[in-house]
């Protein structure tokens, strides 16, 4: 029987609670589809600072690179907010992404028609909306040198090389080929040199993908278009900081941030995580929504393990549970039949996983 080695980073806050539910569902789907999963846990974030003194122990990077894929919860919390930047949980996360080389961050914003009322946008504007945001994750202003702050002057540098833009561009064009063949590249080419290069490279690449319709828009207009008429988009590709901003906005098209998954892909490994954070305000109360993490586990089955059937069984189970009116607290205002805690939501999704 096929076995997959999965590295697990539970992290801080609600991280451990939601990861446990995703593992429950993974085990259920493995049984149905005849494969097995082995898990190994690693530390990152605040818990790593507490236990080892640093937010990203070397062992975590080695362990993740050695696994078939990594399932990640969330990191950070008030307790570590006052630490020097080099020691903060977020610095550990950025350094982790860079060291394991996950350059392509896929953030799907797919509306569950069962939960149309969860969005603040009108149901007819979002019904059947299915957008894939592709964010470059290990370059741009997040990592550019030089950078600094001496109290009088502070600066960061936005850099992209042709090579980096080509790499993320190819990924986005390939995704567009597997979907509706529409790719929108988002930049600020009316102001930034780095965006001019970005735009040039995307246009050159489009010659290799003649079936894909490529458009370019500026980041400010992109956000406006996203809330005006999200269904005009299929795949969106953009750089690190624009993607950070745009993907949060896209998540609100869908409604609850507790529903949204992500995949970070590289040449060596891939990391799957919910896009919400560690939610310290609700930690330990058993009310966190595990669906984003369970959906991330489905993406892991699809993109890293080649288990498409298992991935779609999980997605079907999530939809079935929502359709039958089961809700966690964050989505309980909308057509709820029964409100479940985190663990019961995991149980019921696992029980809906059937061939
Ligand atoms: C995200 C987060 C991170 C980012 C933070 C926590 C560093 O906002 O994954 O979107 O900016 O990349
Ligand atoms: Mg963000």
Rg (CA), the chain: 20
**Pocket of ligand 1, candidates 73, 86, 90: which has the most ligand atoms within 8 Å of its Cβ, to mutate?**
90
Ligand 1 pocket: which of 93, 95, 276 to mutate (most atoms within 8 A of CB): 93
pLDDT of residue 162: 98
- Name which residue sits closest to atom 11 of ligand 1, judged by CA: 244
Per-residue model confidence (pLDDT) at position 333: 81
* Residues 324, 298 share a domain: yes
Q: How confident is the model at residue 119 (pLDDT cuts 50, 70, 90)?
A: confident
Give the domain extent around 74.
1-103+269-355
- Domain shared by 2 and 72, yes or no: yes
Domain containing residue 50: CATH number: 3.40.718.10
90 pocket-lining for ligand 1 (C-beta < 6 Å): yes
pLDDT in tens, 215-249: 999 999 999 999 999 999 999 999 999 999 999 89
- DSSP secondary structure of 243-271: HHHHHHHHHHHHS-GGG-EEEEE-SS-EE
Q: Select from 93, 104, 63 the least CA-distant residue to 277.
A: 93
Residue that is last in its domain, among 207, 227, 254: 254
Q: Is the CB of 137 under 6 A from ligand 1?
A: no
Let me know whether 245 and 274 are in one domain. no
Same domain, 84 and 188: no
Q: What integer best gives the mean pLDDT of the chain?
A: 96
Asked whether residue 259 is domain-assigned, the answer is no
Q: Do both 226 and 286 map to the same domain?
A: no
Determine the distance separating the centroid of ligand 2 and the alpha carbon of 245, expressed in angstroms.
6
- Which pLDDT score, from 0 to 100, does residue 114 have? 85
Nearest CA to ligand 1 atom 8: 244
Residues 58 and 332: beta-carbon distance below 8 Å: no
Same domain, 305 and 223: no
- Tell me if 315 CB under 6 Å of ligand 1: no
Backbone angles phi, psi at 197, to 5 degrees: -65, -45
Our CA dihedral for 169, 171, 177, 182, rounded to 10 degrees, sits at -40
Task: Flag whether 111 is in a domain.
Answer: no
Asked whether residue 110 is domain-assigned, the answer is no
Same domain, 19 and 58: yes
CA of residue 256 to ligand 2 center, whole Å: 15
Given this model, what pLDDT does residue 319 score? 94
Is residue 248 lining ligand 1, measured as CB closer than 6 Å?
no
207 and 84 in a common domain: no
Of 273, 268, 350, 265, nearest to 314 by C-alpha is 350
User: Is the CB of 244 within 6 Å of ligand 1?
Assistant: yes
Q: Which of these three, 201, 223, 254, is where a domain ends?
A: 254
The per-residue pLDDT for 214 is: 98
Going by pLDDT thresholds of 50, 70 and 90, the confidence category of residue 108 is very high
pLDDT of residue 24: 98
Q: Tell me, yes or no, whether 244 and 319 share the same domain.
A: no
Name the closest-CA residue to atom 6, ligand 1: 90
End-to-end CA distance of the chain: 18
- CA nearest neighbour of 232 among 130, 106, 112, 81: 130
Tell me if 260 is assigned to some domain. no
User: Of ligand 1's atoms, which has the minimum distance to the CA of residue 97?
Assistant: 12
Average pLDDT over residues 134-141: 98
Domain membership of residue 264 (yes or no) is no
Stated as kind and residue range, the H or E segment containing 41 is strand 35-41
The mean pLDDT value for 16-24 works out to 98
Band of the pLDDT at 347, cuts 50, 70, 90? very high
Mean local confidence (pLDDT), 75-79: 94
Task: Tell me the whole-structure pTM to 2 decimals.
Answer: 0.94
In total, how many domains does the chain have? 2
Over 90: is that where the pLDDT of 85 sits? no
- Quick one: pLDDT band at residue 355, thresholds 50, 70, 90? confident
Q: Judge if 186 and 274 occupy the same domain.
A: no
Residue 300 is assigned to a structural domain of this protein: yes
| Cβ of 305 less than 6 Å from ligand 1 | no
The answer as to whether 262 is a domain residue is no
CB–CB of 138/97 below 8 Å?
yes
Residue the block writes with tokens 């833009």: 165
Closest atom of ligand 1 relative to the 244 alpha carbon: 10
| C-beta of residue 4 within 8 angstroms of C-beta of residue 38 | yes
Last residue of a domain, one of 227, 254, 281: 254
Residue 151 and residue 88 in one domain: no
Instruction: Check if 133 has its Cβ closer than 6 Å to any atom of ligand 1.
Output: no
Atom of ligand 1 nearest to the CA of 241: 11
Q: Which tens digits make up the pLDDT trace of 152-188?
A: 999 999 999 999 999 999 999 999 999 999 999 999 9
> Is 248 inside any structural domain?
yes
- 132 and 191 part of one domain: yes
The catalytic residues are 142, 188, 220, 244, 248
């Amino acid at each position: 029987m096929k076995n997959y080695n999965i590295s697990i980073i539970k992290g801080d806050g609600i991280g451990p609670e939601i990861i446990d539910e995703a593992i429950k569902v993974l085990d259920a789907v493995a049984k149905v589809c005849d494969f097995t999963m082995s898990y190994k846990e690693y530390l990152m974030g605040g818990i790593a600072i507490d236990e080892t003194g640093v937010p990203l122990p070397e062992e975590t990077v080695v362990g993740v690179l050695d696994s078939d894929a990594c399932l990640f919860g969330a990191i950070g919390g008030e307790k570590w907010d006052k630490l020097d930047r080099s020691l903060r949980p977020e610095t550990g996360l950025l350094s982790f992404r860079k060291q394991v080389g996950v350059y392509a961050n896929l953030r799907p914003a797919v509306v569950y028609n069962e939960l149309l009322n969860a969005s603040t946008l009108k149901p007819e504007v979002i019904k059947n909306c299915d957008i894939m945001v592709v964010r470059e994750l290990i370059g741009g202003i997040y990592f550019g040198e030089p950078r600094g702050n001496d109290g009088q002057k502070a600066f960061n540098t936005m850099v992209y090389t042709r090579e980096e833009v080509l790499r993320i561009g190819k990924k986005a064009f390939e995704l567009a080929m597997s979907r509706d063949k529409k790719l929108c590249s988002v930049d600020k080419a009316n102001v930034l040199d780095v965006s001019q290069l970005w735009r040039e490279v995307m246009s050159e690449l489009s010659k290799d993908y003649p079936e894909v319709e490529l458009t370019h828009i500026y980041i400010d207009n992109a956000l406006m278009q996203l809330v005006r008429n999200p269904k005009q988009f299929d795949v969106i590709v953009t750089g690190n900081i624009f993607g950070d901003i745009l993907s949060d906005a896209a998540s609100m098209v869908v409604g609850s941030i507790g529903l949204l998954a992500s995949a970070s892909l590289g040449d060596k490994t891939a990391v799957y995580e919910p896009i919400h954070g560690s939610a310290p305000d609700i930690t330990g109360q058993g009310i966190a929504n595990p669906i984003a993490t369970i959906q991330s586990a489905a993406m892991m089955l699809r993109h890293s393990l080649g288990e498409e059937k298992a991935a779609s069984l999980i997605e079907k189970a999530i939809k079935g549970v929502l359709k039958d009116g089961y809700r966690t607290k964050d989505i309980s205002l909308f057509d709820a039949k029964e409100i479940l805690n985190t663990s019961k939501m995991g149980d019921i999704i696992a029980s809906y996983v059937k061939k």
